[in-house]
Structures are given as C-alpha cells and as structure tokens.
Amino acid sequence: MFIETEQTPNPLTLMFRPGQKVTGGDGVDLPTAEVAEASPLGKALYALGDVTRVFFGYDFVSVTRDPAGADWPELKPQILGVLVDHFTSGAPLFTDTVKEVATDDDPADAEIVLQIRELIETRVRPQVAEDGGDIVYRGFRQGTVFLEMQGACSGCPSSTMTLKMGIESLLKYYVPEVTDVRAV
C-alpha cells in the first residue's frame, strides 16, 4: 500500500493520503486521546506518544505532532506503519460514535445561519480540506460567527490570516449581518 504524504501550512501537521476514502464524507476531528477512543486508528496514532491531534477527512488523515516531541523524520515512519496496518486490516474507522457539539442559534437568525452555513460548506471547507484541515460552524450571535478550526488548521500560524482576511471578508460580503468571525 502506498500512502502519499503532504506538507500543510501548519509545520506541525502532515497530511497522509492512503489512496482510498477515509471518512467518505464530513471530516471528524479527534482533538484529544480521550475523544480518539471512539476510533481504533485514532487510538493507535495517539498511542505513538508524540501525536497531539488527529483529523480524518474525506480521503486523508491529518496528524499533528507535539513540538517538544519527536521530529517528523522520526515520527512519520511510525505513523505510516499505523496507517498501513489499519487500512490493510479492514478494521472499522470507528467503533463508537464521536459526539458532535450542538449549536444554540437564535431561531430568529435561521435565514442568516442558513446563508452562513451554505457559504462555509461550498466555499470555505473545500479550500481548507486541500491543506489537511476543516472549519466547522459553531454558532452565530449578535453579528459574530464562531468557527472551530480542525485538523491542520488548528494551531496553524496562518489560520488567523485565513480566518480574518479570507473567511470573514467572504461572509461579510455575502451576509451583511456578519460583523466579525472568531475561532473557538
């Protein structure tokens, strides 16, 4: 099995493409070892010791390393071994459900929220997925959109620029009710 490895804008995150679907749909963020208990693959990656975040995308896995831990030349072969073992074994990606975070949007903002979500789904998420990340809508209150940066986007040095110059500008242009965009 050949797994392609790509760098991301976040130097602490690498994207691994196994040449097959991973989630086959929406991304799933495993920001802690505890959350990763729902996934045999996530659990195995965290067990390596120097992994601080795992993100499963449609056809990729993003892994973030501890800056104080092993460097990529040491950690990357270990990650590749875990990925090959998992994908050749036919094991399921999840053995339990990963809990989704609910939003508490004001029903009066339903039309605005629909526009925001549509823009994020069609214009934002495909772009950040190319860099091994994801951005998830977490709420809209009093003109402010709250987004969660996942995968390679989480902790990326350029994520603030992406959030403010890219996403905020886009949302303000198409949805005048948006006055600010913040990461949660």
Amino acid 102: pLDDT: 62
Query: What DSSP state is assigned to residue 67?
Result: T
Alpha helices in 47-179 (DSSP H): 72-89, 110-119, 125-129, 159-161, 169-174
Q: pLDDT digits over 86-104, tens only?
A: 999 988 999 876 656 567 7
27-39: average pLDDT: 90
Pairwise CA distance, residues 76 & 31, whole Å: 19
Q: pLDDT digits over 48-75, tens only?
A: 999 999 999 999 999 999 999 999 999 9
Amino acid 104: pLDDT: 74
Nearest to 22 by CA among 73, 70, 91: 91
Amino acid 78: pLDDT: 97
Using CA atoms, how far residue 113 sits from 25, 58, 84, 105, 145, in Å, is: 22, 24, 40, 8, 9
Task: Walk me through the domains of the chain, giving residue ranges and CATH numbers.
Answer: 4-89 (3.30.1370.70), 107-183 (3.30.300.130)
The pTM of this model reads 0.74
166-182: average pLDDT: 94
